[in-house]
């Protein structure tokens, strides 16, 4: 999944995507432990997708925190 596509997803969809990825990772790990090597490439791709989603999710959290801090400092300056 490309990062641009992930950034277009809304916050509620992140949780659903992460849940789906976790289930896929579980299945692929199980297959790999059973000796099937077909899942190795897919497992790596899924891990990267998961990391991308978590990164975008964290970026959004930090952007919200910075916006809240900026608003608070503006209110504080206006109050003086």
Q: What is the mean pLDDT of residues 25-31?
A: 91
Residue 54 is part of a domain; what is its CATH number?
A: 1.10.287.310
Confidence (pLDDT) at 24 = 94
pLDDT digit string, tens, across residues 47-80: 999 999 999 999 988 998 888 877 777 777 776 5
Using only the alpha carbons of the chain, give its radius of gyration: 19
Contact indicator for 6, 60 with CB cutoff of 8 Å: no
Q: Is the pLDDT of residue 38 over 90?
A: no
Q: For the chain, how many structural domains are there in total? A: 1
| Predicted TM-score of the model (pTM) | 0.76
DSSP 41: H
* Token pair belonging to 9: 């997803």
CB 29 within 8 A of CB 40: no
* Cβ–Cβ under 8 Å, residues 13 and 62: no
Q: Is the pLDDT of residue 5 over 90?
A: no
Identify the domain containing residue 35 by its residue range. 3-79
Rounded CA-CA distance 65/60 in Å is 9
With a pLDDT cut of 70, the percent of the chain lying above it is 95
């Amino acid at each position: 999944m490309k990062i641009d596509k992930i950034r277009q997803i809304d916050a509620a969809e992140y949780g659903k995507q992460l849940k789906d990825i976790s289930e896929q990772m579980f299945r692929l790990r199980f297959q790999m432990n059973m000796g099937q090597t077909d899942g190795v490439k897919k497992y790596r791709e899924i891990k990267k997708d998961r990391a991308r989603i978590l990164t975008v999710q964290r970026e959004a959290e930090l952007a919200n925190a910075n916006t809240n801090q900026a608003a608070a400092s503006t209110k504080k300056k206006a109050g003086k």
